[in-house]
Amino acid sequence: MAQFDRFAKQYIARRTAKRFNHNKDVEIPNMIKFVGNIRNKKILDLGCGFGDHAKLYIKKGAKKVTGIDASKEMIKIAKERKIPNTEFFIGDLNKKLPFPKNSFDFATASLCIDYLRNLDRFLKEVYRILKPNGVFCFSTPNPVIEGALIKANTLGCKFVKLIGMQRLKNEKIKIFGNYFKERMRKRPLIPGVAVTSAQRTYQTFIQSLLKNNFEIIDYIDCKPAPSSKKIDPEKYELCMRIPTFCMFKVKKK
């Protein structure tokens, strides 16, 4: 995710601001709960960013967390935080991971898989570095919502996501979005900034996991943390009704 180097400071400022944030108020609380018991586990945090997850994994009892991310700026900030029992590396998740096979008890990937072009190759690498019966948890934008049509300057908004159909007066229907159109596309991340990410179906995720010998052991649709309701009741209600992210937990056979 080297593309994050261009706006790392702006991105982090939004993540840490006292306002509703989908990472801070939806993804992170769900992931920290979803990983379960990680006490004394050696964890690989893929797409670790500036170390938010790593810090919480250590707080939850992990023995050591190794983070890897393509963004030099993110890794620099992660190292400057001096989080105990952590180690951070610059690395491209599209390539072979710089770790021996059977190195980690646990691996996580928070909202980074959609930036990768080759899902099979990535999962094959995760399988390689995990110990036997090792667990991998990852989050991704909800595939159905990712298939929505993004329209700029619509209904008085900067952009809206539309998925579904509208029946017109002539009884014809107008269709919005395309769940089955898998592709790399640009999407808005923060104001004025778009990133390139993959749109994939549930079928693609599940078939790729099975193809690479993972056993699916759990799945959740993410809801916002209850505490975020006070921060922004409208966005809280939106995320309670429409799933923004989902999470898979799989095990190396």
Q: What is the pLDDT of residues 52-79, one digit of tens each?
A: 999 999 999 999 999 999 999 999 999 9
pLDDT at 181: 94
Confidence band for 182, pLDDT divided at 50, 70 and 90: very high
11-45, pLDDT tens digit by residue?
777 777 788 999 999 999 999 999 999 999 999 99
User: Do residues 117 and 147 make contact, with C-beta atoms less than 8 angstroms apart?
Assistant: no
Question: What is the sign of the dihedral through the CA atoms of 87, 93, 95 and 96?
Answer: positive
Sequence-distant (6+) residues with CB within 8 A of 91 are: 68, 69, 70, 97, 98
193-220, pLDDT tens digit by residue?
778 899 999 999 999 999 999 999 999 9
List the domains of the chain with CATH numbers.
2-142+199-252 (3.40.50.150)
Section 97-126 average pLDDT: 98
Q: What is the pTM of this model?
A: 0.90
Judged against a pLDDT cut of 50, whether residue 178 lies above it is answered with yes
H/E/C letters for each residue in 21-52?
CHHHHHHHHHHHHHCCCCCCCEEEEECCCCCH
